[in-house]
Every structure is written in C-alpha cells, then in structure tokens.
A and B are shown apart, each in its own frame.
Chain A
Amino acid sequence: MHLHQLPLGQPAYIDRIAWDRLSPGEAQRLREFGVEEGASVEALHRAGLFGRGALACRIGRMTVAMRHVHADAIHVRTGAEDLPRPIPAAASGIASPSPEQAPSLS
C-alpha cells in the first residue's frame, strides 16, 4: 500500500520507493531524511479536515512533513510475518562497526 493509505499510528516498513516519480531534488531530500527500503515508518498526522493535506510521518527517529505526491511514491507494508531485514549491516553488506574493520571499507 502507499504511505498515504497507511492508517495513522500503525507502524510499517518502507517496501519500495518509486524514485522515478520524484524530482532529483525531492529524491535527494527524502534520502537524506532516511527514506529508503526497510526503514521503519509511521503516519502521525494529516493536515486539513478534508482531502489531501500534508502528511507528517515518523521515519526512523525523525518526523518529516510531506505532500500527498511524495507519500504516493512510497510503498509500505505492515504485519510482522514478513518484516524486511533491518537496514543496517545486512542490507548494505557492511560488516559490524568495529573500528579495526572500518578502514577496510574505504
């Protein structure tokens, strides 16, 4: 389901992002806010009584305000049965953060 369809207060994970539907600037900003596959997300508030007001959501530990058009490009999933891998380490193939190993990353 799209992020804007997610009921308020229900925790979910970002499943997929349709980056091609966002401008490069918007895509960069969303990435900087931590929007990426596997990130935890929760819709918190919707502005406006009717229709498509802005959406405030929690991404990781951050609260971000976005418009319907952005929330529409973010696909999320709920439910514990198919929780995606947690983002760190595993997703990027990076080893654990011991200082000794860090240099080898570069």
Chain B
Amino acid sequence: MTAQPLIALVGNPNAGKSALFNALTGARQKLGNYPGVTVERKSGRVSLSDGRPAELVDLPGTYSLTPTSPDEEVTRDVVIGKQQGERLPDALVLVVDATNLENHLRFALEVLDLGLPSVVVLNMVDLAARDGLELSPEALSEALGVPVVSTVAVRKRGLDHLLHELTTLIGTGAIALRPHTRDLSFTQRRARAHDLARTTIVRETASRRLTQSVDRIALHPVFGPLVLLGLLFLMFQGVYAWSEAPIAMIEGWAEELGNLATSLTSEGYFRSFLVDGVINGVGSVVVFLPQILILFFFILMLEATGYMTRAAFLMDGLMAKVGLSGRAFIPLLSSFACAVPGIMATRSISDPKDRLTTILIAPLMTCSARLPVYAVIIGAFIPARSVGPGIGLQGLVLFCLYLGGIIGAMLVALLLRRTVTKGQSAGLLMEMPKYQWPRWQDIVLGLWQRAVIFLKRAGGIIFVSTIVLWVLLSFPKPPAGSDTSPVDYSAAGRIAHVLNVVMEPIGFNRDISLALVPAMAAREVAVSALATTYSIDAGDDEEKLEHSLGDRLKNNWSLPTALAFLVWFVFAPQCISTIAVTRRETNGWKWPAFMVGYLFLIAYVAAGITYWTAVAAGL
C-alpha cells in the first residue's frame, strides 16, 4: 500500500472526539466535504510512534450505526467501507466517555463487531475521577480483546500511549478480534455494555457532582434565563468594550500603509485606486476583525464548556411556542457568528419542516458580518455615554438590534409554521454533556480558523467588489468646470440614482443605494463601499479627506436615515454565501428565492416604518 494509513475517530457525540482530534493533529488540519453530500470531512496528519505519517479523520458523532441524519450516515458508510471518496480505514479509534461507559460502550461494541483493527479510548478520565469513578482500562481491554487507552484529550494526557498502540496495530495489520455481540438485539448489546462497564469500574464513591451543582443555577426556572440573558448581554458589551484598543491599532496600520502608498506613488489613477480603493476599502472591513473574534470567542466557549445545550433547554419553551424544535436554538445561536455554518448545523434537526423553517429564519440572526455596518453607524450617530452602571448606550443599541432580529425570526417562524411549513413540530431530545473547561489551544485554533476565513473574504469578495466599485465610481469623470460631484457623474452614481427612486421613500440617500448594490456580495462590503464613495467624493479636498468615515456619515446623513439603515440590515438578505448554502441545503432555487423575497420585503417595510416614525418624532 502506497498511501498513508487511514485512522478514523469514531464515537458518540460529546465523547470528546474533536478535542482528541485537535490534540493529535494540532493545527495540521484540512477541512473539506464528502462528495455528493454536504457533510464536512475533517482530517489531519499524525506521526505514529515509529515516525510514519498517518491520516486521521474525525467522523461525525453518532449514537449507533442506524443513522438518523446525513452526518450519521457518513460515519456508518465510512466504517463499513461504502462511503464514496473514502477508503476503508486501516484502524479505528473508538472514543468512549469514561463518565458514561454503559451508554458509550454499547456503540463501541456495535463498531467492534465490524472487525476492523481498533483501539478503545477511555476519554475524560479526569471527569470520571471527579465523579468518583475509578476505572481499570486493563480489565476492559481483557474483556474486549482490544487495546484500551485512558486519555484526557483536553490536557493532552495519554496521547503517546494511544499513538504507540496505533503503531503496533497498523504495523501488525488486522488483529484477531473476538466476535462480541454480533447478531444480538439492541437491548442485549446494551446489557453486555452494562456488564462491561461494571467490569471496568473498580470503585465508585459518592462525590461532588460539579455539573449538577452548576445546573442547579444554570437550569433554574428563574435564575437560568437570567444567567443566559446576562451572558448574551456580556457578549455584546464585550464586543464593544474589549475591541477598542486592537481596532485603534489596525486603524493606525491602515493609515500608515495609506501614507506609505501615497508617498511611493505619484498623483493619478493608480494612487487613487491603491489608496481610496484597496487600502481604504479593505482596511475599513479588516478593522472589525477584533469584534468578530470576540463574538466567536464567546460562541466557541459556550459550545466547548457544554453551556450551549443548556441554552437550548432553557429556550425550548419559547421555540415550541413558535413551532420550532429546541434543537433549532443551536444552529440559530451559531448564526450569530455566521448564517452559513448555522444553516449547515440544521442537519442535526431530523424533521424536514422543522429544519426548513430554521434555515429560512437563520439569516435573521445578527451575523458577525453585520457588525462592521452596525459599528460604523452606531459609532457615528449614537453618543458614547453611559445609561447605567456598566451599560453603555452604544452597546444597548447593538443589543436592541440583535433583539430585533430575534423577535423578527420568531414572528416569521410562527407565520411559516402556519403556512408554508405547516405541520407538527418534532420536539426536543438531546443529551446534555457535562461541563468542562476547554483547552485554550482549542479555542485559539478555532479563532485562528475563523480569522483566516474572514481575512480570505476580505481579500477575496471584498477586495474584488471594492475594486469593481472603485472603477464604477471613478469613471466617467465629470468634464472640467462641472458642478456635478465625481460620484454623481460616475457610472455607479447613475445606477444609484435609478435605485434611489425605490429607496428614497424609506429615507435612503444616493450613497446608501450605491453601497447596497456591491453589499449583495457580503454585508460588510457596505462599509468599504461607503468608505470608497466618500473617499472619491472628497477628491483632493484635504479638509474633507481628514474626516473619518464616521464624521463623513454624520455630515451627510440624518439620524432617521441612519436608524432606517440599521434596521434595513437587521433583515436584508445581503449575502451571496447564505443564498448559495440555502440552495445547496434545500436542493433547489425555490426556497432561497422565497427567503430572499420575504427578507427584502420585511427589510423595506421595517426600515420605512423606522424612518417615518423617527421623522415624525422630530429626531
């Protein structure tokens, strides 16, 4: 065999598979897709004890080999060698939660019966010790006839031992496996798992159950929702409060880069293109990286600590009222970071109508791409004053925008469940994992992956649309001595004039209409588009050029216009990636078309109402 040996990680959800995968592969990971299905393939390289490289693949978690979702189907097909685009693994690592042996060993037995060379990993032995369980991996190994290794993936404990066992396994080829439970019924296999667990657990002492103590508060009918609300509020305040210094730093770099480019180029189109187009446009978006990373930090922490399922539990009552499954809460909360992974996460919802409704409302959750837009407008129009101890007005407005998206989503879900996605809701059935303090390297790795994706977007979509916009804004030039501003005279200005006929009634001006067109690619492009527009509009007027984007907006927009613009972005489906992923997940254009249509309609009406109300109130 010329290819590297393939090792697959198999296990129940919450067995700590991903932590083990991260601990074994470090940053040497490759994300892809299995052909024909929209299931993510996560692979990485490991070095075996004898120095040979091997490919490690992290299979989706499942409770049995009887799949209930496309993800679980992939896991089954890989381990039986039927998955297109994946060869049969040379060895399996069966990851078992040491604190939940009875349950996880049942699935391990099912997989062991396939007869592939396997190592069983008793993961999270530290949590088992915390629960007062003393385990004997040797006893389990003897009973199963396969090597058993104890690990604490999040602390990188036991990895060398695991790699050593894998090296032996792969070196000697398939080892003789005793048939265990083949042909047994589910219940009989489960009984065998119970027996095995009793063999493995040497001693069990009553102990302090941390998870239960925390849950007494976190799931309390009164304090639970308060804690959740507090965490969400802290998250949105943190996005503002902690990002100031790094933002100022990035702004400083962009300015220096602009000055450098100005000094190195001579006056003319190239300088304008480089400084106004590229540096100003891309810089105005990259500056939001700190805020996006802070948001992702919170979401990754909520997931990794095990709190996310608690939030789903608390929210289930509300979700049920609008006809959704409590499970929908996890994809929806992920959509706060980005609707694309959020929509992909709906695959865990087995009921098709529940899932479709969740997909259709996911873009209403305020994603991180809206942050640049919100931040620039809020920074310009909402005074940075305190409205109470620890509560800033700007953070409060941001919180309200998030809340607006959530309330909108709930109302839309309610409506959809009574019309286009009519039917019974499938409900909530989920495991609640034990609380765990995540390994900080895993969080850093997650943040790094998000930062790379964001910067690639800034370098790709945003860069290209900024350039196209710069070209459209710069040509044709007004004849010398003309009163018309360069922007009004340009091709983009003329397009905006036409669009403005529709947008003017809701308080939008030419610049907004202009920014909305390239922002179809991605929301944050609106900011770079505005930056480029005002930069070109300023021309060589040095006094104007000194103004920041915020100051320029303040001079050109009224408060009602700014508010209407904010509300527009709560609802408008300005994101090509979301539309594309919806098409992929719903297998056609019908639902993405429906989604885009209804969201634009709501955006227009809501922005209009905001504008007219604000004008009537004399703001």
Contact = CB atoms under 8 A, between A and B. Distances in A.
Given A28-B66, A34-B103, A106-B183, A88 B198 contact: yes
A72 to B, nearest CB: 11
Nearest to A91: B191
Interface string A46-65: 11110111101000111111
Given A33-B103, A61-B99, A65-B316, A70 B429 contact: yes
Interface residues of B, number: 58
Interface string B160-202: 0000000000000000001111111011101110111011000
Interface in A83-101: 87-89, 91-94, 96-99
Contact of A60 (B102, B178, B215, B309): B102
B478 interface: no
A103 B191 CA distance: 15
Contacts of B314: 47
Contacts of A103: 178-180
Contact of A65 (B64, B224, B432): B432
A91 B427 CA distance: 31
Contact of A53 (B192, B198, B221): B221
Interface in A19-58: 23, 25-26, 28-34, 36, 44-49, 51-54, 56
Contacts, number: 159
**Chain A contact patch, size range:** 35 or more
A80 interface: no
A97 B428 contact: no
Contact of A31 (B186, B309, B326, B350): B186
Contacts of B68: 25, 28-29
Interface string B194-238: 111011000000000001100100011110100000000000000
Nearest to A30: B429
A18 interface: no
B550 interface: no
B66 A56 contact: no
Given A67-B427, A87-B194, A99 B178 contact: yes
A69 interface: yes
Given A56-B313, A61-B99, A106-B184, A87 B191 contact: yes
A74 B355 CA distance: 26
A99 B142 contact: yes
B317 interface: yes
A54 B313 contact: yes
A67 B430 CA distance: 10
A65 B143 contact: no
Given A45-B215, A70-B427, A34 B190 contact: yes
B188 A92 contact: yes
Nearest to B62: A32
B320 interface: yes
A66 interface: yes
Contacts of A56: 215, 219, 313, 432
B236 to A, nearest CB: 23
25 contacts: A25-B68, A26-B426, A28-B64, A29-B68, A32-B63, A33-B63, A34-B190, A47-B313, A47-B316, A47-B317, A52-B317, A56-B313, A61-B100, A63-B215, A63-B431, A65-B309, A65-B326, A70-B429, A88-B191, A89-B191, A89-B195, A92-B187, A102-B178, A102-B180, A106-B184
Interface of B: 63-64, 66, 68, 99-103, 107, 142-145, 178-184, 186-188, 190-192, 194-196, 198-199, 211-212, 215, 219-222, 224, 309, 312-314, 316-317, 320, 326, 350, 426-434
Given A28-B68, A45-B224, A96-B195, 14 more contacts: A26-B429, A29-B63, A32-B64, A33-B63, A34-B190, A45-B220, A56-B313, A65-B316, A67-B316, A67-B427, A92-B188, A92-B192, A94-B191, A105-B188
Closest 9 CB pairs of A and B: A88-B194, A92-B191, A32-B63, A97-B195, A45-B219, A54-B316, A63-B432, A48-B317, A53-B317
